[in-house]
Amino acid sequence: MKAPSLSVRFPARSPGTASRWPAWLVAGATTALLASACAGAVEEPFRSGLAERDAAQAEGSSDAPAADPDCDDANPRPSLGPPEPLPAPASLPAGSYMAEIQARGVLRAGVGADTLLFGFLNPQSGDVEGFDVEMARLVADAIFGDPDRLELIPVQSAERIDRLQDGTVDIVVKTMTINCERWGSINFSTVYYESGQRLLVGNDTGVVSIDDVGGERAICAISGTTSLARLEAEGVATIEEASWTDCLVAFQQGRAFGISTDDTILAGLAAQDPYAEVVGAPFSEEPYGIGLPKDHPEFTRFVNAVLEQARSDGTWERLYDEWLADVLGKGVAVPNASYRT
């Protein structure tokens, strides 16, 4: 087995340092938040027939269509069926992308570094933490038997697909909405969180929904996101920034009247600004999936098996309670998985 490579650009969270909603933040920090193997030992874990279909998909991926023809805009969630059972780290199939990652010694995960709750650099611990990071740790654990064999690489929303396609990262776990256009370039896991777009404004504006904004007051969103696309489609005036922290600055400087994106991200921004409040009902569906390379469908199936396990053995609920329940509400149901095959 190759010696472990533990060098990380951002350290993975140390085991046992379960963080909650950080006190330094609740205490009222404003924009402070930061800136931005054993590969030979194998068995035959995949159901017959899947391998041929995977090979065909991988072949077609060099000439990826604009949108995935197998994807339904009304419900883009179905992903590739998982192997049964999930192969153990010592039994990853030879030639699979999982075996390649194992031989390398570390899983490279693209994550956010300024999205409170999901992927954020905790200045107290120096670690990048959050629910998305936990999803990456589950995948690392399934490949290595060790969740810390993880290199966390910060990515902006607009570069999530490029970093997967150029091989800089093996997975992207960054509040990433599953949709058919993206399925044309990358694969997604099954949904691991159901979000929805909302609006953040100053708490003395009288604005209670996106319909009150009109076409003149500028709302901030960031490049390469479903959030920006939806605002533009609805005729809302927009300010485009590179990160949600930049949007918070624009809002606090009065350049933006408000910010609109997923309820999850807005909850984290609102916690950093006592003048901000999140208003109105969600006006979109933003199902989050783990972004995966298109040319390794066996890896998508493997990650889906990892998520199946987390759904069924209580891990998802434990992580939800640890990271999200205090802010996003208790008693949220585990999102259902659905499969194309």
Binding interface with ligand GLU (CB under 6 A): 112, 115, 157, 174-177, 222, 225-227, 261-262, 286
C-beta of 102 vs 187, nearer to ligand GLU: 187
The dihedral through the CA atoms of 155, 158, 160, 163 has a sign that is: negative
To ligand GLU, the closest distance from the beta carbon of 105 in angstroms equals 28
To ligand GLU, the closest distance from the beta carbon of 335 in angstroms equals 14
To ligand GLU, the closest distance from the beta carbon of 177 in angstroms equals 4
To ligand GLU, the closest distance from the beta carbon of 41 in angstroms equals 37
C-beta of 213 vs 290, nearer to ligand GLU: 290
Specify burial of residue 35 (Cβ count, 10 A radius: 0-12, 13-18, 19+).
exposed
To ligand GLU, the closest distance from the beta carbon of 137 in angstroms equals 19
Q: How far is CA 266 from the centre of its chain?
A: 15
To ligand GLU, the closest distance from the beta carbon of 183 in angstroms equals 13
Specify burial of residue 160 (Cβ count, 10 A radius: 0-12, 13-18, 19+).
buried
| Encoded amino acid at 48, one letter | S
C-beta of 120 vs 302, nearer to ligand GLU: 120
C-beta of 117 vs 310, nearer to ligand GLU: 117
C-beta of 58 vs 328, nearer to ligand GLU: 328
The dihedral through the CA atoms of 249, 253, 256, 262 has a sign that is: positive
To ligand GLU, the closest distance from the beta carbon of 141 in angstroms equals 24
- Contact yes or no for 126/17 (Cβ under 8 A): no
C-beta of 144 vs 244, nearer to ligand GLU: 244
| Encoded amino acid at 125, one letter | S
Helices 263-270 and 244-252 cross at an angle (nearest 10°) of 50
- Contact yes or no for 84/47 (Cβ under 8 A): yes
Question: How large is the C-alpha radius of gyration of the chain?
Answer: 20
Q: Cα dist. 215→21, 207, 280, 320 in Å?
A: 36, 14, 17, 37
CB count in 10 Å sphere of residue 280: 18
C-beta of 37 vs 259, nearer to ligand GLU: 259
